[in-house]
Amino acid sequence: MSSKEKPTLGGARIKTRKRNIAAPLDPAAFADAVVQIYLENAGDLELVAKSIESSDLNFSRYGDTFFEVVFTGGRTQTGTIKPEEGERHPYSVLECEASREVILPSVIYIQKILRRKPFLIKNLENVMQRFLQSLELFEENERKKLAIFTALAFSQKLSGLPPETVFQPLLKDNLVAKGLVLSFMTDFFKEYLVDNNLDDLISILKRGKVEDNLLDFFPPTKRSAEIVSEHFSKEGLTMLVEYNEKKIFEVKLKEMKSSLTTQIAEEVDVDEVIETLKQQVRDAKFPDIEVVRMLWDVIMDAVQWSGKNQQQNANAALRQVKTWAKLLHAFCTSGKLELELIYKVQIQCYEDAKLMKLFPEIIRNLYDQDVLAEDTILHWFRKGTNSRGRQTFVKALEPFINWLEEAEEED
């Protein structure tokens, strides 16, 4: 055999980079460890929070599992709320009594956890969304506890629970149809309004993009104003009844204004406009006084103003009043409604500089077109209650009032 040395490769040795080997997921061991913390502290949430803070558990990896333990006492099976195998504790949100006094400490406890571990906010959102989308899998009493927890979470401004996270998942067709959403929201409303006012509630509903129509929470077969009023009245939520009626009123008013504006712009025959509007008023059960206010607004909004030319503006306004006087006359059917029309004219002339000097001419025009009666005008002149610009307008109207009184004496 040859004794020659075998050739070797020269150059620097190249080091190979080791792969990062991910530790296997073990949510079961994590859940058992959290459950053990609850059991060791006998459910005292103050002590539980301290133990969790000092533990070296991997909350960033098992955040969803942590909140499953908080709410249900242990892990839940994927895609459901059924308990998974493993340790459980009896101090969860769903195991406690369905009352604010008992559930509030859990809300405060979660708030503390989130302040110390803000990366868990997204996990809370994930778990709440999953639970709310699965309402049908919970017992009635458990759904009530979730509603109370949610209301208290909003009252305490709990991080990680934005309104859209709660309300949007609820609007699944099957949940709404079964009446589960209505039951949940009713419990939520009642609990939230204990500590908060209606404006606070509406603000949350707006952020959740569900403030426009409470009917969305009702099953499709029960979506009528009468049923909504009956339901919330029975539950002691009369302020919601009033709010819903106001929203319905605003929607119908907007529709009516839009229709009337189109008819006026297209110069539809006034008799046809009157007939259409009367039908809309009957269908919507619209108060007469609101119709008069709306009519004046729409008629004047349709005026083609001419910049700073006061005379042209005056002519345009008076021409508009004369053109649609028959429409006003059709709905000013009492002295009270005529007086309301004068107040509308007064307010607009006070607020709009280009109409300030037109008040007496508009009143005279409405009188000439038989929209306003002499008695109504005299009543406003002597006893009118709206103070805006009144002193100025009374003085401006004096010549016309004198003429009316002289004509009355001659008669």
Assess whether 102 and 179 both reside in one domain.
yes
Q: Does the residue 362 lie in any domain?
A: yes
Query: What are 83's strand-pairing partners?
Result: 76
Q: Report the chain's mean pLDDT, rounded to a whole number.
A: 89
Q: Of all residues in the chain, what percent carry a pLDDT higher than 70?
A: 91
The count of residues in the chain is 411
Q: 150: domain range?
A: 27-237
Kindly tell me if the per-residue pLDDT of 3 is higher than 70. no
Clarify whether residues 190 and 335 are in a common domain: no
Kindly state whether residues 173 and 254 are assigned to the same domain: no
Does residue 271 lie within any of the structural domains? yes
The confidence score (pLDDT) of residue 165 equals 83
For residue 14, the one-letter residue type is I
Do 137 and 186 contact (CB within 8 A), yes or no? no
Q: What is the CATH number of the domain that holds 253?
A: 1.25.40.180
- The model carries a pTM of 0.74
Give a yes or no: residue 13 inside a domain: no
What are the two backbone dihedrals, phi and then psi, of residue 6, each rounded to the nearest 5 degrees? -75, 140
Q: Does residue 206 sit within a domain?
A: yes
Q: What is the largest CA-CA distance in the chain?
A: 152
**Shared domain check, 154 and 86:** yes
Q: pLDDT (tens digit, 9 = 90+) per residue, 341-360?
A: 999 999 999 998 888 899 99
What is the domain count for the chain? 2
242-254: buried (b, 16+ CB within 10 Å) or exposed (e) per residue?
A: ebbeebbeeebbe
Q: Is the pLDDT of residue 145 over 80?
A: yes
| Predicted pLDDT of residue 406 | 82
Given this model, what pLDDT does residue 1 score?
A: 47
Q: Are 224 and 245 in contact (CB under 8 A)?
A: no
Residues of the chain with pLDDT > 90: what percent? 70
Same domain, 115 and 263: no
- 3-state SS class at 14: coil
Last residue of a domain, one of 180, 211, 237: 237
> Assign residue 79 a region: left if phi > 0, alpha if psi is -120 to 50, beta otherwise?
left
Last residue of a domain, one of 237, 261, 296: 237
Query: Do 105 and 59 belong to one domain?
Result: yes
Position 21 scores a pLDDT of 38
Each residue's pLDDT tens digit, 179-231: 999 999 999 999 999 999 999 999 999 998 888 778 999 999 999 889 999 99
Q: What is the mean pLDDT of residues 37-64?
A: 93
- The answer to whether residue 4 is domain-embedded is no
Q: Is residue 8 part of a domain?
A: no
pLDDT digits (tens, 9 = 90+) for 319-334: 999 999 999 999 999 9
The reply to whether 193 and 323 lie within a common domain is: no
Of the residues 237, 261, 290, which one is the last residue of a structural domain?
237
Instruction: Return phi, psi of residue 176, to 5°.
Output: -65, -45
